[in-house]
Every structure is written in C-alpha cells, then in structure tokens.
Chains A and B, each alone.
Chain A
C-alpha cells in the first residue's frame, strides 16, 4: 500500500465547517496545504499496528477528577472586557439562526 494515497478533499465543505470565508482563488492553495497534512497522516496509518492496544490519551493515567466544590468565578467586568459588544451584562452576538 502506498503511503501517498490520493486524498479527496472537499475544501468548500471543510471551510464551511470551520466558518472560514475563503475566496475562490484561495480554495486551491488551502486544498493543497491540507493535502500535505493528510498525506502525512496517511504515512502514519501505513504502519502495522496490529497487536498495539488503542489508547485515547497518551498519558498513562485515568480518573483525574476535582471534588464538587465551588470556586470563585471571574468579575463580570473582566468577563465582558474582551467582548466585541456587551449589553446589560450579556455578550451580544449576531443572530445565530442559519436561514437561507
């Protein structure tokens, strides 16, 4: 199996999922860049991993918990200080319904 499988990338879909508004001229260059990354991942996938236990985390421990005890939150002025727009203690955002 070749490590350089042709990789089919729907770059318009990927851009949409990431909410990045790409100009048509940019699509090709992003498709190529993403292709390089995926080809690298394909190389890794080419290794024979039969007999290797799958892991979901590289650290070898489990159950890192905190106790259910409240800790102080941030002052609201500080919370909203980085917001592009705030009103009456709320963040203000553009309408969030995606309508056609």
Chain B
C-alpha cells in the first residue's frame, strides 16, 4: 500500500513599505542594530500602535491577486507568547477575522498545471532578530542572545495555503509562483536569503482517500531547493516510521541544510497557548467596496496573465516562463521592442538569452531602449549583420557605443551582401586555391566548405554566407 503526502505551505512576506506597520520607524535592511526603533516597536509603556494604510492596501492587493475574498470587516488580535525577539510579549496579528480568505493560485509545475487553495492572508508584524552566541553558534548550546529590533514591527503578511499540494516539486513550483506574484505586485523584494520571504511547510502522510495523518511543521528552508529537499526528506522519514508500524509525533522540525535532515526542536512539550484576544489599542479595519475596487483597478498584469500573453504573441512556452520570471527591466525591454515592431519570438530569445547573460556578467550595464533592440533584430532579419556578428553589435550597444546600425558600422560588422564586392573576393580565393578547385571538380564536394571558409576569412567574417555559397556554386558549377 502506498502513502500519499499532504503538504500545506505557510509564507511570510515582509512588505517593503517606507515605514513600519504601527510606527514611523524606517523599514531598511542592513542598518546598524537598534537604530530604527522607537517606543512603539520596542513595546515601551504608554506607546500606541497606529496601522500603516499602505500596508493594508498592499495586503488587499495580495489577496486580490490570489483570488481571495476580501473581508469587509477585520480585526487585529494579540498573539501572546514570550520570546526575547518579541518586545511586547505579544505579536499584533489577525485571528478569526483576517483581511483575505478563501482564494487560489494556479501554478504550472514540472508535471503540468495545478491549483493550490489559499486559506487566508493576514496582516501582522515581524519580530526582532536574534543572534545566538555560544559554542559553534549552535542554537541549542547558546549562552547569550544578542537582539536587534530594527525588524520588529516591519509589516508582515502571512499567507497560508490549503493542504492541497501532493509533492515536493509542486511545493517548490507553488512557492516560486507565489514569489513571482509578490514581485509583480511590487510589495516586497521577496529575498529568500535575506528572509524577506520565508516558507514553512506542514507535511503529513495518509492512505489515498483516507483521513489526514499527524502533521509535522518544517522550518528553516532558505531557498526553493531546500524547501524541496526538506519536504523530500521529511516525507521519507514519516513513511519509514509508518511502515515500521510506529507513529509520527506532531512537532516542529528544523531543516539542517548541511546535514540534509530535519531535526526535532527538543523544546518542552507545552502545547501552544497563544490566548488570542482583540487588541484594544486598535480599531477594526473596514475595506468597503469602493476601496477594494480602487485597489483592484491598480493590479498589474499577473505572472499567469503575462505568460498567456507571451504565448499568444508567439513565444515558445519555455522562453515565456523564463521571460515572465525575469527582472521587470528585461520584461519592459521585451514589451517595448515588440511595440517598436520586433518579432516577439526572436525578441524573447534575445532578451532571455544574450541580454540576460550580458547582464549577469555586468550588473551595471545599461539596457538598450526597446527601439534599439528592434533595430538590431531588423538588421539580422534583413541580413545586414550575421547572427554571430549581432552578438558583438549588442555588446557594443550595451557598452554605450550607440544604436545598432551605428555600432555595426563603427565595428565594421555590416555583412557584405553586395554581390559585386563579394565576387571579387570569391575570384581571388579561387585563384589562390587551384588545388581545392581541382578536387571539387573531381567530385570532392566537402571542399566547398573550405572555400566558403576562405572567403569568410578574407572578409573578416562579414560576408553573407548564403551569397558566398551561391557565387561559388556559379563559378564552380
């Protein structure tokens, strides 16, 4: 009998607002410790939180992009627990009246398209950052904790999927699609390695069609790859336990990237008792129809819509996915070049290929304008520059040497497609290689390639190869 994994994902997204959720301290990554803090985010007595309007709007935006119902009326609760990185001893969060509920996200995974339900998306605040000091930096053997509260109070959106996901690769595809949505909305920089987007997973096994098994929460996955690996490991671990007739214990386990295993936290087994209650410092949030519609009208084209449009325009599916996941600057370049008349399929290949590669080599590169790229593609199409010379033209354009034609002319890359000019070169080559001509006439067809090569060499690679072939054929035939 087989076991079927059931996976749900919890995502935390730090919003890139200018100021924190409930006070005016700056949201800024990497500042010196405890320089963006005030009485409110330090939880000092007498301070009062006031919610950031933009953060609420961005949460609604996320909810709409995830096809959620936006609750007209919602409430902040206090989630009570003690931890050194939580200065108030409670986190302002949402409980039974979150802003967004009951949505879904369509994902195209490695094994086809699938839909993941979204349970909810709610507003809360981030905690401070702890650095555990002690032997080897291991959390269990820490002797002291250093605390930086710059992150405390940063607007945090928690998105909870339904337990709809059947495999680790699908969990990864869902997480990647969700990140693309967040980036497209422009509400977070969604950097996994810096923790501005964090994924936790709930995973259990069951008999197909049977009741849900005991779930384990897996934390500490800092990349899409580790999310997939951690789930693979955890599913395997649970399967072995169940097949040995043992039970899965409900617990939180940490993913150890280096060892490639999940490990139990060895914490005291006190069941979570957060004693949620409505925060008396905060009045309810009402998102009425007018406000919701205004936010909906601002929604940008979402990744799934974008991919569909690329396909409609004739881009192949693989390139469409890569382009859709590319930086906004590159996508805009594609749009502008196509608007300037360039062929969408070729444009997409150049943007995701040569231009992306160049940008990877040098982040400071200035991208060409859409019209300039369109001009380059026209030069290739008309045979004015060869495909290989075009790469050099592009390099010149990226280095700021000017427009496509300008660079091609200055770098002497214009293809010689004037048959009079080429004829002279061809005649010279034939005169210099009587041997080869002899062999060709004797039936050694492959010698033609050598002669073409000689012409290309004589022209510095600028001859139009089709024309060279034709001219040679005429003379040798």
Contacts and interface: CB of A to CB of B under 8 A. Distances in A.
Interface stretch (A1-9, A27-35, A41-49, A66-74): A66-74
A69 B36 CA distance: 14
A92 B52 contact: no
Given A56-B278, A96-B130, A89 B268 contact: no
B212 interface: no
Chain A binding surface, main DSSP class: loop
A98 B84 CA distance: 12
Given A65-B52, A73-B36, A99 B283 contact: no
A94 B24 CA distance: 29
Given A98-B268, A99-B267, A68 B17 contact: yes
Contact of A70 (B18, B97, B132, B268): B18
B313 interface: no
A95 interface: yes
Interface in B51-91: 51-56, 73, 75, 80, 82-85
Contacts of A17: 80, 273, 275
Contacts of A93: 84, 130, 144-147
Contact of A71 (B24, B83, B273): B24
Given A64-B283, A79-B42, A70 B34 contact: no
A50 interface: no
A40 to B, nearest CB: 17
B280 A57 contact: yes
A57 B284 contact: yes
A71 B18 CA distance: 10
B39 A74 contact: yes
Contact of A63 (B130, B134, B143, B285): B285
B286 interface: yes
A96 B149 CA distance: 15
A79 B44 CA distance: 10
Interface stretch (B25-33, B297-305, B366-374): B25-33
Nearest to B56: A65
B37 A74 contact: yes
Contact of A69 (B19, B37, B132, B284): B19
B19 A70 contact: yes
A92 B145 contact: yes
A92 B167 CA distance: 42
A88 B39 contact: no
B357 interface: no
Interface in A77-99: 79-80, 87-99
A68 B52 contact: yes
B266 interface: yes
B146 A73 contact: no
A70 B50 contact: no
Contacts of B54: 67-68
B34 A76 contact: yes
Contacts of B23: 71
A97 B130 CA distance: 11
A16 interface: yes
Interface in B1-42: 17-19, 23-26, 32-39, 42
A100 interface: yes
Interface string B312-340: 00000000000000000000000000000
Given A65-B50, A68-B52, A89 B145 contact: no
Which of A59, A65, A71, A80 has the most chain B CB atoms inside 10 A of its CB? A65
Given A17-B275, A94-B144, A70 B33 contact: no
Nearest to B17: A68
A59 B278 CA distance: 13
Nearest to A80: B34
B146 A90 contact: yes
A66 B144 contact: no
Given A69-B24, A71-B23, A79-B37, A61 B283 contact: yes
A73 B144 CA distance: 26
Nearest to B20: A70
5 contacts: A65-B51, A74-B38, A76-B34, A88-B33, A89-B33
Interface of B: 17-19, 23-26, 32-39, 42, 50-56, 73, 75, 80, 82-85, 97, 130-132, 134, 139-140, 142-149, 266-268, 270, 273, 275, 278, 280, 282-286
Question: 5 smallest A-B Cβ distances: which pairs?
Answer: A71-B24, A65-B53, A68-B54, A90-B146, A91-B147
Given A13-B273, A71-B19, 4 more contacts: A57-B284, A68-B54, A80-B34, A100-B268
